[in-house]
Chains A and B, each alone.
Chain A
Protein backbone atom coordinates (compact mmCIF):
# COMPACT_ATOMS: atom_id res chain seq x y z
CA UNK A 1 0.00 0.00 0.00
CA UNK A 2 1.36 3.44 -0.88
CA UNK A 3 1.39 6.28 1.62
CA UNK A 4 -1.38 8.09 -0.27
CA UNK A 5 -3.68 5.06 -0.15
CA UNK A 6 -2.88 4.41 3.51
CA UNK A 7 -3.55 8.02 4.49
CA UNK A 8 -6.84 8.02 2.56
CA UNK A 9 -8.04 4.87 4.35
CA UNK A 10 -6.80 6.16 7.70
CA UNK A 11 -8.75 9.39 7.19
CA UNK A 12 -11.95 7.43 6.51
CA UNK A 13 -11.44 5.10 9.49
CA UNK A 14 -10.66 8.00 11.81
CA UNK A 15 -13.66 9.93 10.45
CA UNK A 16 -15.93 7.00 11.36
CA UNK A 17 -14.36 6.76 14.82
CA UNK A 18 -14.82 10.48 15.45
CA UNK A 19 -18.41 10.40 14.18
CA UNK A 20 -19.45 7.45 16.34
CA UNK A 21 -17.55 8.90 19.27
CA UNK A 22 -19.47 12.17 19.07
CA UNK A 23 -22.84 10.46 18.48
CA UNK A 24 -22.51 8.11 21.45
CA UNK A 25 -20.71 10.48 23.79
CA UNK A 26 -18.16 7.73 24.39
CA UNK A 27 -15.44 9.44 22.39
CA UNK A 28 -13.58 8.04 19.41
CA UNK A 29 -10.07 8.41 20.79
CA UNK A 30 -10.08 5.11 22.61
CA UNK A 31 -10.63 3.16 19.39
CA UNK A 32 -7.98 5.03 17.37
CA UNK A 33 -5.10 2.93 18.75
CA UNK A 34 -6.89 -0.39 18.02
CA UNK A 35 -7.84 0.95 14.57
CA UNK A 36 -4.20 1.68 13.74
CA UNK A 37 -2.65 -1.39 15.35
CA UNK A 38 -5.25 -4.10 14.68
CA UNK A 39 -6.66 -2.56 11.49
CA UNK A 40 -3.55 -1.23 9.77
CA UNK A 41 -0.73 -3.13 11.50
CA UNK A 42 0.92 0.09 12.70
CA UNK A 43 3.38 -0.16 15.60
CA UNK A 44 1.57 0.66 18.85
CA UNK A 45 4.02 3.50 19.64
CA UNK A 46 3.21 5.38 16.41
CA UNK A 47 -0.48 4.61 17.05
CA UNK A 48 -0.32 6.16 20.53
CA UNK A 49 1.36 9.29 19.13
CA UNK A 50 -1.28 9.73 16.42
CA UNK A 51 -4.08 9.07 18.91
CA UNK A 52 -2.83 11.70 21.38
CA UNK A 53 -2.72 14.34 18.66
CA UNK A 54 -6.29 13.46 17.58
CA UNK A 55 -7.48 13.64 21.18
CA UNK A 56 -6.11 17.18 21.57
CA UNK A 57 -7.82 18.29 18.35
CA UNK A 58 -11.30 16.93 19.13
CA UNK A 59 -11.37 17.91 22.78
CA UNK A 60 -10.19 21.47 22.09
CA UNK A 61 -12.65 21.81 19.21
CA UNK A 62 -15.59 20.62 21.32
CA UNK A 63 -14.49 22.49 24.44
CA UNK A 64 -14.55 25.73 22.45
CA UNK A 65 -18.31 25.36 22.07
CA UNK A 66 -19.14 23.99 25.52
CA UNK A 67 -17.15 26.52 27.51
CA UNK A 68 -19.14 29.32 25.89
CA UNK A 69 -22.43 27.70 26.94
CA UNK A 70 -21.51 28.01 30.59
CA UNK A 71 -21.55 24.34 31.63
CA UNK A 72 -17.81 23.93 32.09
CA UNK A 73 -16.59 24.60 35.64
CA UNK A 74 -13.27 26.37 34.98
CA UNK A 75 -12.08 26.20 38.61
CA UNK A 76 -12.80 22.49 38.98
CA UNK A 77 -11.11 21.91 35.61
CA UNK A 78 -8.03 23.97 36.48
CA UNK A 79 -7.63 22.33 39.91
CA UNK A 80 -8.01 18.79 38.62
CA UNK A 81 -5.63 19.48 35.72
CA UNK A 82 -2.85 19.57 38.31
CA UNK A 83 -3.61 15.88 38.95
CA UNK A 84 -4.16 14.89 35.30
CA UNK A 85 -1.05 16.64 33.89
CA UNK A 86 1.25 15.19 36.57
CA UNK A 87 -0.45 11.83 36.04
CA UNK A 88 0.02 12.12 32.26
CA UNK A 89 3.73 12.90 32.69
CA UNK A 90 4.12 9.85 34.95
CA UNK A 91 2.22 7.68 32.47
CA UNK A 92 4.28 8.84 29.49
CA UNK A 93 7.48 8.42 31.51
CA UNK A 94 6.60 4.86 32.56
CA UNK A 95 5.46 3.97 29.01
CA UNK A 96 9.09 3.98 27.84
CA UNK A 97 9.84 1.04 30.15
CA UNK A 98 6.71 -1.02 29.54
CA UNK A 99 6.68 -3.69 26.79
CA UNK A 100 4.23 -2.95 23.93
CA UNK A 101 2.21 -6.11 24.60
CA UNK A 102 1.71 -5.12 28.25
CA UNK A 103 0.41 -1.76 27.05
CA UNK A 104 -1.99 -3.64 24.76
CA UNK A 105 -3.26 -5.68 27.74
CA UNK A 106 -3.82 -2.57 29.90
CA UNK A 107 -5.54 -1.01 26.89
CA UNK A 108 -7.88 -4.00 26.65
CA UNK A 109 -8.85 -3.72 30.31
CA UNK A 110 -9.51 0.04 30.01
CA UNK A 111 -11.67 -0.55 26.90
CA UNK A 112 -13.70 -3.22 28.73
CA UNK A 113 -14.35 -0.75 31.52
CA UNK A 114 -15.37 1.93 28.99
CA UNK A 115 -17.76 -0.54 27.31
CA UNK A 116 -19.33 -1.34 30.68
CA UNK A 117 -19.75 2.35 31.53
CA UNK A 118 -21.32 2.92 28.10
CA UNK A 119 -24.23 0.65 28.97
CA UNK A 120 -25.13 2.53 32.14
CA UNK A 121 -27.78 5.20 32.48
CA UNK A 122 -26.81 8.51 33.99
CA UNK A 123 -28.95 10.27 36.52
CA UNK A 124 -28.22 13.59 38.13
CA UNK A 125 -28.08 13.37 41.87
CA UNK A 126 -27.54 16.89 43.03
CA UNK A 127 -26.96 16.97 46.75
CA UNK A 128 -28.16 20.04 48.60
CA UNK A 129 -26.59 19.45 51.96
CA UNK A 130 -23.85 20.90 54.05
CA UNK A 131 -21.24 22.48 51.79
CA UNK A 132 -17.97 20.57 51.60
CA UNK A 133 -15.28 22.48 53.52
CA UNK A 134 -12.47 21.95 51.01
CA UNK A 135 -14.76 22.78 48.08
CA UNK A 136 -15.71 26.04 49.81
CA UNK A 137 -12.08 27.01 50.44
CA UNK A 138 -11.29 26.29 46.79
CA UNK A 139 -14.43 28.15 45.62
CA UNK A 140 -15.56 25.18 43.49
CA UNK A 141 -19.35 25.43 43.96
CA UNK A 142 -21.07 27.01 40.97
CA UNK A 143 -24.21 27.15 38.85
CA UNK A 144 -25.13 25.62 35.50
CA UNK A 145 -27.83 26.42 32.95
CA UNK A 146 -31.01 24.32 32.97
CA UNK A 147 -34.37 24.73 31.27
CA UNK A 148 -35.64 26.42 34.46
CA UNK A 149 -32.72 28.87 34.61
CA UNK A 150 -29.37 28.61 36.37
CA UNK A 151 -29.20 25.99 39.10
CA UNK A 152 -26.64 25.93 41.89
CA UNK A 153 -24.69 22.79 42.72
CA UNK A 154 -22.15 21.79 45.34
CA UNK A 155 -18.90 19.91 44.90
CA UNK A 156 -17.99 17.05 47.24
CA UNK A 157 -15.15 14.58 47.93
CA UNK A 158 -12.41 16.74 46.39
CA UNK A 159 -9.44 14.53 47.49
CA UNK A 160 -11.07 11.38 46.05
CA UNK A 161 -11.81 13.17 42.78
CA UNK A 162 -8.25 14.49 42.67
CA UNK A 163 -6.85 10.97 43.20
CA UNK A 164 -9.05 9.48 40.48
CA UNK A 165 -7.93 12.27 38.14
CA UNK A 166 -4.31 11.30 38.72
CA UNK A 167 -5.22 7.77 37.60
CA UNK A 168 -7.02 9.19 34.55
CA UNK A 169 -3.87 11.17 33.73
CA UNK A 170 -1.62 8.11 34.04
CA UNK A 171 -3.88 6.11 31.70
CA UNK A 172 -3.98 9.00 29.23
CA UNK A 173 -0.18 9.30 29.19
CA UNK A 174 0.40 5.56 29.03
CA UNK A 175 -2.18 4.70 26.35
CA UNK A 176 -2.52 7.91 24.33
CA UNK A 177 -6.22 8.29 25.08
CA UNK A 178 -8.27 11.10 26.62
CA UNK A 179 -9.57 8.75 29.37
CA UNK A 180 -12.76 10.78 29.55
CA UNK A 181 -14.61 7.79 31.01
CA UNK A 182 -12.50 7.88 34.19
CA UNK A 183 -12.62 11.70 34.31
CA UNK A 184 -16.42 11.72 34.12
CA UNK A 185 -16.52 8.97 36.75
CA UNK A 186 -14.43 11.10 39.11
CA UNK A 187 -16.58 14.21 38.73
CA UNK A 188 -20.01 12.67 38.25
CA UNK A 189 -19.89 9.94 40.86
CA UNK A 190 -17.16 10.95 43.32
CA UNK A 191 -17.49 14.73 43.33
CA UNK A 192 -21.24 14.78 42.67
CA UNK A 193 -21.20 17.32 39.85
CA UNK A 194 -24.22 17.40 37.50
CA UNK A 195 -23.62 14.97 34.60
CA UNK A 196 -23.56 17.69 31.95
CA UNK A 197 -21.01 19.69 33.96
CA UNK A 198 -18.92 16.52 34.38
CA UNK A 199 -18.83 15.68 30.66
CA UNK A 200 -18.06 19.23 29.51
CA UNK A 201 -15.43 19.83 32.19
CA UNK A 202 -13.88 16.42 31.39
CA UNK A 203 -13.73 17.38 27.73
CA UNK A 204 -12.19 20.73 28.69
CA UNK A 205 -9.43 18.95 30.63
CA UNK A 206 -8.67 16.27 28.03
CA UNK A 207 -6.73 18.62 25.73
CA UNK A 208 -4.42 19.81 28.51
CA UNK A 209 -3.93 16.27 29.81
CA UNK A 210 -3.06 14.95 26.35
CA UNK A 211 -0.75 17.91 25.64
CA UNK A 212 1.22 17.07 28.81
CA UNK A 213 2.25 13.67 27.45
CA UNK A 214 2.29 14.69 23.76
CA UNK A 215 5.42 16.81 24.34
CA UNK A 216 7.30 13.83 25.77
CA UNK A 217 6.10 11.59 22.95
CA UNK A 218 7.19 14.16 20.37
CA UNK A 219 10.73 14.11 21.77
CA UNK A 220 10.67 10.32 21.80
CA UNK A 221 9.84 10.21 18.09
CA UNK A 222 6.37 8.63 18.46
CA UNK A 223 4.60 11.33 16.42
CA UNK A 224 4.89 10.40 12.74
CA UNK A 225 3.40 13.11 10.48
CA UNK A 226 2.34 10.58 7.82
CA UNK A 227 0.10 8.86 10.39
CA UNK A 228 -0.82 11.64 12.81
CA UNK A 229 -2.10 14.01 10.10
CA UNK A 230 -4.79 11.83 8.45
CA UNK A 231 -5.85 10.45 11.83
CA UNK A 232 -6.15 13.88 13.43
CA UNK A 233 -8.03 15.43 10.51
CA UNK A 234 -10.30 12.38 10.20
CA UNK A 235 -11.30 12.30 13.86
CA UNK A 236 -11.76 16.07 13.94
CA UNK A 237 -14.02 16.13 10.86
CA UNK A 238 -15.96 13.08 12.11
CA UNK A 239 -16.50 14.60 15.55
CA UNK A 240 -17.62 17.95 14.11
CA UNK A 241 -20.05 16.20 11.75
CA UNK A 242 -21.42 14.11 14.60
CA UNK A 243 -21.86 17.08 16.89
CA UNK A 244 -23.73 18.96 14.18
CA UNK A 245 -25.88 16.02 13.11
CA UNK A 246 -27.88 15.19 16.15
CA UNK A 247 -29.12 17.73 18.62
CA UNK A 248 -31.72 15.82 20.59
CA UNK A 249 -31.34 12.50 18.75
CA UNK A 250 -31.96 9.39 20.85
CA UNK A 251 -28.54 7.87 21.17
CA UNK A 252 -29.12 5.21 23.82
CA UNK A 253 -29.41 2.32 21.37
CA UNK A 254 -26.35 3.55 19.47
CA UNK A 255 -24.44 3.70 22.76
CA UNK A 256 -25.33 0.09 23.53
CA UNK A 257 -24.26 -1.11 20.08
CA UNK A 258 -21.02 0.85 20.30
CA UNK A 259 -20.34 -0.58 23.78
CA UNK A 260 -20.57 -4.10 22.35
CA UNK A 261 -18.15 -3.13 19.55
CA UNK A 262 -15.74 -1.61 22.09
CA UNK A 263 -15.93 -4.79 24.18
CA UNK A 264 -15.10 -6.90 21.10
CA UNK A 265 -12.12 -4.64 20.33
CA UNK A 266 -11.06 -4.95 23.97
CA UNK A 267 -10.92 -8.76 23.72
CA UNK A 268 -8.96 -8.48 20.46
CA UNK A 269 -6.43 -6.17 22.18
CA UNK A 270 -6.19 -8.56 25.16
CA UNK A 271 -5.68 -11.55 22.85
CA UNK A 272 -2.98 -9.77 20.86
CA UNK A 273 -1.33 -8.57 24.05
CA UNK A 274 -1.24 -11.96 25.73
CA UNK A 275 -0.10 -13.77 22.58
CA UNK A 276 2.62 -11.13 22.08
CA UNK A 277 1.40 -10.19 18.58
CA UNK A 278 1.47 -6.49 19.41
Chain B
Protein backbone atom coordinates (compact mmCIF):
# COMPACT_ATOMS: atom_id res chain seq x y z
CA UNK B 1 0.00 0.00 0.00
CA UNK B 2 1.31 3.41 -0.84
CA UNK B 3 -0.22 6.31 0.98
CA UNK B 4 -0.03 9.41 -1.07
CA UNK B 5 2.56 12.13 -0.65
CA UNK B 6 1.68 14.80 1.82
CA UNK B 7 -0.27 17.72 0.58
CA UNK B 8 0.82 21.18 1.56
CA UNK B 9 -1.21 24.34 1.66
CA UNK B 10 -3.74 22.85 -0.69
CA UNK B 11 -6.71 24.76 0.61
CA UNK B 12 -5.26 27.94 -0.84
CA UNK B 13 -4.64 26.47 -4.28
CA UNK B 14 -7.90 24.54 -4.55
CA UNK B 15 -8.64 24.33 -8.23
CA UNK B 16 -11.17 26.78 -9.55
CA UNK B 17 -11.02 25.00 -12.91
CA UNK B 18 -13.20 22.24 -11.54
CA UNK B 19 -16.87 22.44 -12.35
CA UNK B 20 -18.88 23.33 -9.27
CA UNK B 21 -20.92 20.14 -9.28
CA UNK B 22 -17.79 18.04 -9.70
CA UNK B 23 -16.49 19.65 -6.56
CA UNK B 24 -19.75 18.88 -4.76
CA UNK B 25 -19.44 15.20 -5.67
CA UNK B 26 -15.87 15.21 -4.35
CA UNK B 27 -17.04 16.69 -1.06
CA UNK B 28 -19.81 14.10 -0.75
CA UNK B 29 -17.43 11.21 -1.53
CA UNK B 30 -14.94 12.54 1.01
CA UNK B 31 -17.60 12.84 3.72
CA UNK B 32 -18.96 9.36 2.98
CA UNK B 33 -15.52 7.77 3.27
CA UNK B 34 -14.70 9.60 6.49
CA UNK B 35 -18.05 8.75 8.12
CA UNK B 36 -17.87 5.10 7.02
CA UNK B 37 -14.38 4.55 8.43
CA UNK B 38 -15.26 6.37 11.64
CA UNK B 39 -18.44 4.36 12.31
CA UNK B 40 -16.76 1.06 11.38
CA UNK B 41 -13.78 1.74 13.65
CA UNK B 42 -16.04 2.76 16.56
CA UNK B 43 -18.25 -0.34 16.24
CA UNK B 44 -15.23 -2.64 15.97
CA UNK B 45 -13.50 -0.91 18.88
CA UNK B 46 -16.58 -1.14 21.14
CA UNK B 47 -16.98 -4.82 20.26
CA UNK B 48 -13.26 -5.33 20.79
CA UNK B 49 -13.30 -3.93 24.33
CA UNK B 50 -16.13 -6.32 25.26
CA UNK B 51 -14.44 -9.18 23.38
CA UNK B 52 -11.15 -8.70 25.22
CA UNK B 53 -12.96 -8.36 28.56
CA UNK B 54 -14.36 -11.86 27.93
CA UNK B 55 -11.49 -13.57 26.14
CA UNK B 56 -8.45 -11.40 26.89
CA UNK B 57 -6.90 -13.98 29.22
CA UNK B 58 -7.19 -16.88 26.77
CA UNK B 59 -4.12 -18.02 24.87
CA UNK B 60 -4.77 -17.90 21.11
CA UNK B 61 -3.16 -20.27 18.59
CA UNK B 62 -3.05 -18.09 15.48
CA UNK B 63 -0.02 -19.93 14.09
CA UNK B 64 -2.45 -22.66 13.03
CA UNK B 65 -5.04 -21.77 10.41
CA UNK B 66 -8.46 -23.20 11.21
CA UNK B 67 -10.72 -20.68 9.48
CA UNK B 68 -13.53 -18.81 11.13
CA UNK B 69 -16.80 -20.42 12.27
CA UNK B 70 -19.84 -19.87 10.04
CA UNK B 71 -21.12 -17.16 12.37
CA UNK B 72 -18.11 -15.00 11.51
CA UNK B 73 -17.68 -15.60 7.80
CA UNK B 74 -21.04 -14.75 6.26
CA UNK B 75 -23.06 -11.54 6.40
CA UNK B 76 -26.11 -13.40 7.78
CA UNK B 77 -24.01 -15.16 10.41
CA UNK B 78 -22.46 -11.90 11.57
CA UNK B 79 -25.89 -10.21 11.83
CA UNK B 80 -27.28 -13.13 13.83
CA UNK B 81 -24.25 -12.92 16.12
CA UNK B 82 -24.76 -9.19 16.63
CA UNK B 83 -28.44 -9.79 17.49
CA UNK B 84 -27.29 -12.30 20.12
CA UNK B 85 -24.75 -9.76 21.48
CA UNK B 86 -21.81 -12.00 20.62
CA UNK B 87 -18.74 -9.79 21.09
CA UNK B 88 -16.65 -11.39 18.30
CA UNK B 89 -19.57 -10.90 15.92
CA UNK B 90 -19.79 -7.20 16.87
CA UNK B 91 -16.09 -6.76 16.00
CA UNK B 92 -16.68 -8.62 12.73
CA UNK B 93 -19.71 -6.40 12.05
CA UNK B 94 -17.46 -3.34 12.35
CA UNK B 95 -15.08 -4.96 9.85
CA UNK B 96 -18.00 -5.68 7.49
CA UNK B 97 -19.03 -1.99 7.74
CA UNK B 98 -15.47 -1.08 6.82
CA UNK B 99 -15.53 -3.36 3.75
CA UNK B 100 -18.91 -1.85 2.81
CA UNK B 101 -17.56 1.73 2.89
CA UNK B 102 -15.79 1.61 -0.53
CA UNK B 103 -18.83 -0.23 -1.91
CA UNK B 104 -21.06 2.66 -0.81
CA UNK B 105 -18.58 5.07 -2.39
CA UNK B 106 -18.90 3.30 -5.77
CA UNK B 107 -22.70 3.43 -5.46
CA UNK B 108 -22.54 7.16 -4.69
CA UNK B 109 -20.33 7.89 -7.74
CA UNK B 110 -22.67 5.80 -9.89
CA UNK B 111 -25.63 7.96 -8.79
CA UNK B 112 -23.61 11.13 -9.37
CA UNK B 113 -22.71 10.04 -12.91
CA UNK B 114 -26.36 9.13 -13.57
CA UNK B 115 -27.53 12.58 -12.44
CA UNK B 116 -25.07 14.10 -14.90
CA UNK B 117 -26.36 11.70 -17.59
CA UNK B 118 -22.83 10.43 -18.08
CA UNK B 119 -24.03 6.97 -19.14
CA UNK B 120 -20.60 5.62 -20.10
CA UNK B 121 -19.42 6.12 -16.53
CA UNK B 122 -22.68 4.79 -15.10
CA UNK B 123 -21.91 1.51 -16.90
CA UNK B 124 -18.27 1.57 -15.73
CA UNK B 125 -19.36 2.16 -12.10
CA UNK B 126 -21.99 -0.58 -12.41
CA UNK B 127 -19.34 -3.12 -13.49
CA UNK B 128 -17.19 -2.28 -10.46
CA UNK B 129 -20.23 -2.40 -8.17
CA UNK B 130 -21.18 -5.80 -9.61
CA UNK B 131 -17.68 -7.19 -8.93
CA UNK B 132 -17.85 -5.91 -5.34
CA UNK B 133 -21.33 -7.31 -4.69
CA UNK B 134 -20.29 -10.66 -6.13
CA UNK B 135 -17.41 -10.79 -3.68
CA UNK B 136 -19.35 -9.59 -0.64
CA UNK B 137 -22.62 -11.49 -1.13
CA UNK B 138 -21.84 -14.41 -3.39
CA UNK B 139 -18.25 -15.53 -3.56
Which of A's residues lie within 8 Å of B, judged by CB?
1-4, 6-7, 21-22, 25-30, 40-43, 45-46, 53, 55-72, 74-75, 78-79, 81-82, 85-86, 89, 92, 138-139, 143-147, 149-150, 152, 177-181, 183-184, 195-196, 199-200, 202-203, 206-208, 210-216, 218-230, 232-233, 236, 239, 242-243, 246-249, 251
Mask of B60-74 contacts with A, CB within 8 angstroms, 1/0: 101111111100111
Least distance between A203 CB and chain B CB atoms (Å): 5
B30 proximity list for chain A (CB < 8 A): 63-65, 67-68
**Could you count the A-B residue pairs with CB atoms below 8 Å apart for me: how many are there?**
296
State whether the Cβ of B114 lies closer than 8 Å to any Cβ in chain A: no
* Complexed CA–CA distance, A248 and B121 (Å): 36
Tell me the dominant secondary structure on chain A's binding face. Answer: helix
B20 interface residue per 8 A CB criterion = no
CA of A78 to CA of B63 in the docked complex: distance in angstroms?
Answer: 38
A70 touches B14 (CB 8 A): yes
B residues contacting A by CB (< 8 A) are: 1-11, 13-18, 22-23, 25-27, 29-31, 33-34, 36-37, 40-41, 44-45, 47-48, 51-52, 55-60, 62-69, 72-74, 88, 91-92, 94-96, 98-103, 105-106, 109, 113, 118, 120-121, 124-125, 127-128, 131-132, 134-137, 139
Kindly identify which residue among B57, B74, B132 contacts A212, using a CB–CB cutoff of 8 Å.
B132
Determine the residue in chain B with the shortest Cβ distance to A235: B1
Report whether over half of chain B's contact residues are helix, strand or loop; otherwise say mixed. helix
Q: Cβ of A208 and Cβ of B128 under 8 Å apart?
A: yes
Residues of B within 8 A of A43 (CB): 62-65
| Given A3-B59, A66-B4, A143 contacting B44 (CB threshold 8 A) | no
Known contacts A208-B106, A236-B37, A243-B3: A223-B88 contact under CB 8 Å: no
Given A89-B131, A218-B73, A225-B51, A56-B13 contact (CB < 8 Å): no
Cβ contact within 8 Å between B57 and A74: no
A39 CA to B135 CA, complexed, in Å: 30
Query: Assuming A72-B26, A215-B132, A248-B8, is B102 touching A42 (CB within 8 A)?
Result: no
Which A residue sits closest to B61, measured CB to CB? A43
Give Cα A6 to B62, complex, Å: 10
Question: Which of B7, B47, B73, B105: most chain A CB closer than 10 A?
Answer: B7
